[in-house]
């Protein structure tokens, strides 16, 4: 090698290398769809749905199931070249909608009034229904049938019955109730006390009120009296595992318990009743995922076509038959409940379900609340102090202060 690499060649190489990967020819027959999945069963249901779409549409759908979904989606959005269609968790909706990255297509699918009102609300921001929910889950009180039968305890329907049942089911090596120490479980008991973290218009924090104190106080009392525990205290990764290993007799868990039970602990005989009702009635939490279309997608019409197909009643029926999630359309609920009698406890709470959706910036307030709930569950924080702190943390966020 006598001569160094000619300058022009080197520059050309650098230029080619930096251009590769940038830029994307907008192929109108290609649609990029990013999703996440809870496991092989959901993977398969999703692939079957896409295969069905490919039979009726010439548009080629590139399905990308991503493990670390939230981070990948955020990077794709910030990079300005997001997938055309993607899943959005309800808790992320306010932040994504306020950032203007979602096309408001919720009302452009078939019969949009058919979606459960609570889910419509969860995916609406400032009055616009952004994206149709593909399906949803609720929390219910799942229980070990054999344990309850052996103790002669009927599935509890009210708080008083829940406490009594937990007392009679607790014995050395087993707690009556297992519950994750987070708002996504504890919040299910707030409607029963008539409380919530904010007022309906999201203008004012209402965490530090007698209603919330009553709801959380009930659960903190169960933990304090040794009738309830967190999965971690029972050496379990999550509540379902604690239930399956016989370390707890009851658990507040979501519809996904059905899938996990069928796969990981088929020996468990379990059933579910709605979250027990408090002095102000029943209620539960719902968790949902919608099918969003990117505002910046060059093929928005085709993306909408895929979303319409996937959220149509027939496809939704096919999907929710393969996989234990509930159809987000009211017209399909009765049929689903009839087919899944064991999951009736989850479906029964649909009408009083609330979602954990607030406003942009609110997730960090929930982080602060979760710290407090962890303290209440192990008994080293005082309820008054926790609620005061959440109120204090939430006020600047509701006032629209610094993000």
Partner 1 sequence: MKWARQRPEWLAGWLFAAPAVAGIGLFLLVPVVLAFWASFRDWNGIGPLGESHSVGTANYEALLVSDGLPRSDFAVALRNNLYYVLGVVPLQTALAFGLALVLNQRYPRLRGFFRAAYYFPSVTSSIAISLIFIFLFQTNGIVNAVASGVFGAEPVNWLENADGVLHLGLGALGLDLEQPPTWLTGTTVLGLPLWDWLSGPSVTLLSIMLLAVWTTSGMFMVIFLAGLQNIPEAVEEAAVVDGAGPWRRLWSVTIPMMRPTLALVLTLGVTGTWQVFDQVYAISAGGPQRTTLTPAYLIFRDGFRNFSMGRASAIAFVLLVVIVASTLVSRWLLNRKERA
Residues that contact partner 1, how many (by CB under 8 A): 43
| Dihedral sign for Cα atoms in the order 271, 376, 168, 189 | negative
295 vs 102: CA distance, rounded Å: 5
* Contacting partner 1 within 211-230 (CB under 8 A): 230
* Site for partner 1 contains 393 (CB under 8 A): yes
Letters for 175-214 (x = contact with partner 1 by CB under 8 A, - = none) are ----------------------------------------
Interface pattern 91-130 for partner 1 (x via CB under 8 A): ----xx-xxxx-----------------------------
Compare residues 59 and 76 and give the one whose CB is closer to partner 1. 76
What are the CA-CA distances from residue 327 to residues 169, 185, 230 (Å)?
A: 34, 21, 30
Q: Which of 41, 52, 378, 383 binds partner 1 (CB under 8 A)?
A: 378
Distance CA 297, CA 294 (A): 5
The window from 155-163, 255-263, 307-315, 363-371 that contacts partner 1 (CB under 8 A) reads: 363-371
Q: Where are the alpha helices (DSSP H) in 226-299?
A: 239-244, 256-264
Q: Which is nearer to partner 1, 206 or 233 (CB)?
A: 233
d(CA 284, CA 108): 29
3-state secondary structure of 162: helix
Q: Closest Cα partner for 52 from 300, 290, 317?
A: 317
Residue whose tokens read 């649609």: 31
Q: How far is the CB of 300 from partner 1 (least distance, A)?
A: 18
Considering the rule CB under 8 A, would residue 66 count as an interface residue with partner 1? no
Encode burial over 81-93: b for 16+ CB neighbours within 10 A, e otherwise.
Answer: ebbbbbbbbbbbb
Instruction: Record the tokens describing residue 287, joined without a space.
Output: 């968790």
Residue 77 C-beta: closest distance to partner 1, Å: 5
* Contact residues for partner 1, defined by CB under 8 A: 3-5, 7, 10, 14, 18, 70-71, 74, 77-78, 80, 95-96, 98-101, 230, 232-233, 235, 360-361, 363-365, 367-368, 370-372, 374-375, 378, 380-381, 392-393, 396, 402-403
């Amino acid at each position: 090698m006598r001569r160094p690499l000619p300058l022009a060649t080197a520059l050309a190489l650098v230029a080619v290398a930096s251009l590769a990967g940038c830029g994307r020819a907008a192929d109108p027959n290609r649609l990029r769809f990013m999703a996440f999945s809870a496991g092989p069963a959901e993977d398969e249901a999703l692939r079957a749905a896409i295969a069905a779409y490919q039979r009726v549409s010439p548009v080629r759908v590139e399905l990308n199931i991503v493990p670390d979904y939230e981070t990948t989606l955020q990077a794709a959005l910030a990079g300005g070249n997001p997938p055309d269609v993607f899943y959005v968790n309800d808790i992320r909706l306010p932040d994504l909608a306020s950032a203007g990255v979602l096309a408001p297509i919720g009302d452009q699918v078939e019969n949009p009034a058919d979606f459960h009102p609570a889910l419509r609300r969860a995916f609406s921001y400032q009055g616009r229904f952004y994206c149709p929910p593909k399906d949803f889950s609720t929390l219910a009180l799942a229980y070990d049938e054999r344990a309850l039968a052996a103790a002669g305890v009927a599935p509890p329907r009210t708080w008083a019955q829940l406490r009594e049942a937990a007392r009679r089911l607790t014995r050395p090596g087993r707690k009556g109730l297992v519950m994750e120490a987070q708002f996504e479980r504890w919040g299910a008991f707030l409607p029963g006390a008539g409380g919530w973290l904010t007022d309906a218009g999201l203008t004012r924090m209402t965490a530090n009120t007698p209603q919330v104190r009553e709801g959380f106080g009930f659960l903190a009392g169960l933990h304090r009296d040794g009738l309830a525990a967190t999965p971690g205290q029972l050496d379990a990764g999550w509540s379902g595992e604690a239930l399956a290993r016989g370390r707890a007799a009851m658990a507040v868990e979501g519809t996904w318990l059905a899938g996990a039970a069928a796969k990981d602990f088929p020996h468990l005989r379990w059933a579910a009743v709605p979250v027990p009702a408090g002095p102000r009635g029943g209620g539960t939490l719902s968790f949902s995922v919608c099918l969003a279309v990117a505002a910046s997608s060059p093929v928005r019409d085709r993306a909408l076509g895929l979303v319409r197909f996937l959220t149509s009643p027939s496809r939704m029926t096919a999907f929710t038959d393969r996989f234990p999630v509930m159809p987000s359309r009211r017209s399909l609920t009765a049929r689903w409940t009839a087919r899944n009698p064991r999951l009736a406890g989850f479906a029964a709470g649909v009408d009083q379900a609330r979602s954990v959706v607030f406003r942009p910036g609110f997730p960090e307030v929930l982080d602060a609340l979760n710290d407090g709930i962890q303290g209440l569950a192990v008994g080293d924080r005082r309820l008054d102090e926790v609620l005061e702190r959440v109120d204090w943390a939430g006020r600047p966020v509701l006032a629209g202060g610094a993000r």
